[in-house]
Amino acid sequence: MKILGHRGIPVLYKENTLPSLLEPFYLGADGIETDVRLTKDNVPVLIHDDSLMNFCGVDVKVRDLSLAELKRYKSNGESVPTLEEFLKLAPKGKCLNIEIKEYEAAELAISMCTTLYDGGLIFSSFNHSLISELKVKYTSLRFGYLFDEGHAKLSDEEIFSLFEQNTYSAHLPVVGLSYFPERFLKIIKELKRRNVKIVVWTVNDRKDIEKIWGYVDYIITDDVRLFL
């Protein structure tokens, strides 16, 4: 089982800042999960939300700012990092789970990651159409489908159909185990039978996944120290 820091280690540093993203490696984690979207001048940057409200309390869209303008906004002295900045600092041989937040960011993120990073890469997204498109185009790369409450209405058959070819991983919310325990376990068992890697997010207590511990390949957590 591999342990990935959720946007780094947000219990210690502001999420998705360089200190947050790099600290899990120093602590011995297997990797991190982070989010990529684009600035107005099409630079891939690492931030979860589409605005800066959560980052620094300013209600301005990332997509409406050039990189130079974005860098003027700080949270505890830290600016939103570019994907390139992070990739050049990330230790080699680790696992980076890159969540693609915008369709337009996909190609640039993939190109930059495969060019600059020497290690494991998983590209995931809640946009299932995007992942379906990318996994056909880039057959040698690892892609995963992200699921949340918005996908609860999908039938089991619809979920399984996504994994019929060239899909590395399924990224499932740990809260699903509380709401739909029997279905959650059924889906995991079937995906494992198909050799799909199981990624569970965001796990912040060992007890949350006791029932499925043996099925999980990756844990995404706000505090990697809980599992190391």
CATH code at 219? 3.20.20.190
Segments forming the whole domain that contains residue 159: 2-226
| Statement: the pTM of the whole predicted model exceeds 0.95 | yes
Number of structural domains found in the chain: 1
pLDDT tens digits in sequence order for the chain, 228 residues long: 999 999 999 999 999 999 999 999 999 999 999 999 999 999 999 999 999 999 999 999 999 999 999 999 999 999 999 999 999 999 999 999 999 999 999 999 999 999 999 999 999 999 999 999 999 999 999 999 999 999 999 999 999 999 999 999 999 999 999 999 999 999 999 999 999 999 999 999 999 999 999 999 999 999 999 999
Angle at 25 between CA 123 and CA 197, to 5 degrees: 35
Residues 6+ apart with CB under 8 A from 115: none
In whole angstroms, how far apart are CA 66 and each of 43, 88, 101, 179, 197?
8, 21, 18, 41, 37
Backbone angles phi, psi at 44, to 5 degrees: -70, 125
Count of CA atoms in the C-beta half-sphere (13 A) of 210: 4
